[in-house]
Every structure is written in C-alpha cells, then in structure tokens.
Amino acid sequence: MAGRLRRIGYQLGVVQATTAAPPRVLDYSGWRPTDAQHLQMRQAGIVGVSRYLSLPDQDWKVIHRAEYDRILAAGLSIVLNWEYQKGSALGGFILGVQHGAEARRQARALGHPDERPIIQSLDVGYTMAQAPGALEYMRGFNDGGGCGPQGIYGARHIIDECLARGLVRVGWQTAATSWGPVPGVSPNAHIVQRAEKSYPQFAPGLYDQNDIVRPDWGQHPAPVDAAHTCLFGYPCPWAA
C-alpha cells in the first residue's frame, strides 16, 4: 500500500523521483517503456537496461531492433540477457551451443557488438550437485556464440564457479536469496539485482532494479574509462 501511495504522490507531483545511488540498471520483460519513460529513467539516475533474447515461442519478452535503437537514442546503455525456459541450463553442452549461436545471431541483428558479452540466465536455484551440468551448458553457450566467455545470471556459487573457471567475464547476481547455498553478495559480481522498488514513477510490477558494482557490467556502449568514469557523466562509487 505504501508503494502505491508513493507512486500516486509522484504522479501528482507531491513526491519526487528517487535518484539512484549507486548507478542502477532496470531489467524487464513484457514492458515497453515510452520515450518519455526512458527520459524519466535517465532523470532518476538509471544508466541502462537489461533486455531479453530468446527463442520464438518467448518472443513476447524479446527485444527487437526498433526498441534497441530507441533505448540507445535515449542515452541508456543495454546489456543483453539470454533466457529461454526455467531449467534450460541443465540441458548440457549441446543445448548450450545451440542457444549460444542463436543468442549471438539475434544480437548481431540488433547491431550489438560481438565484443560485448551476452548474459545467459540460470533462472532457478541450482544445487552444488547440479552445478557441473550448468557449467557445461555455459561452456557450450560460449562455443556456440563464438565470441569467447560471456556472462551469467544466477546465484553466488554459480557466478563464483563460472568466473573461477574462466567461463564468463560478467556475473549478475540474482535477488533470489533461496537459489544458492552460499549467502550474501559475491565479491566477484558485476551487477546485483535487488528486491526493492525505488522508482514510484513506474509500476512496481514492471521492472526489477540492479545495483552496478563494477564499471563494466557487460553493457553497450562499453564504459569509456572503466577506472574512473561512467558513461553519460554519472559519478562512479568505485572510482578512487
């Protein structure tokens, strides 16, 4: 109820938008923000969005070229996230190759650079016993895409293991705390999903919010100076 009242207050001009600190990314599936809403994101300190790639039966959540171009034109960065069905990553190496190839094909059709990683989702909890199968899927995903190590969305133990094995270069940690046996935020994460809904100007069911904890979180355009400067002039909490 409090969140709903806050959103109504924002719409009436009584409550001001929350400015994000640290810089944040919104991820969403069925929502298609208007140009005005993209501007609201920028004004709220949001620096980018995560959007989906998938197979045709999941097209309702997939980003297409017109949307991709509009997001970039609004001055927002984009990270691409492959997600098919829950549990896909247990399909092993061969399925990973197929999905990695299709993900890269779709990314190229958008004009997304090959040097930018695609994050693939482990969108359910995986036990330590299931982890080897998920790692094989990730290895296949990389091989299928043909652009080296990509990215992973999932629980802390999966991120840590993938990074330790050199299978990924970006780790995006889920807000779902029940997904993994290791509590807390991974020190290796590049972006961390949060359960909070900090933007009353947008309906809370439309989006999830994510804190950027490392300057390169897989986004396009890539950071200009990863050591000191974020894109678009936003202050970086990691800068010395």
User: How would residue 85 be classed by pLDDT, with cut points 50, 70 and 90?
Assistant: confident
The per-residue pLDDT for 11 is 43
Question: What is the model's pTM?
Answer: 0.83
pLDDT(1) > 90: no
Q: What is the number of other CB atoms lying within 10 angstroms of the CB of residue 225?
A: 11
Question: CA-CA distances (angstroms) from residue 133 to 50, 60, 96, 124?
Answer: 26, 28, 10, 14
Return the domain boundaries, the chain: 18-233
The per-residue pLDDT for 9 is 43
pLDDT(126) > 80: no
Q: Name the 3-class secondary structure at 103.
A: helix
Homologous superfamily assigned to 18-233: Glycosidases (3.20.20.80)
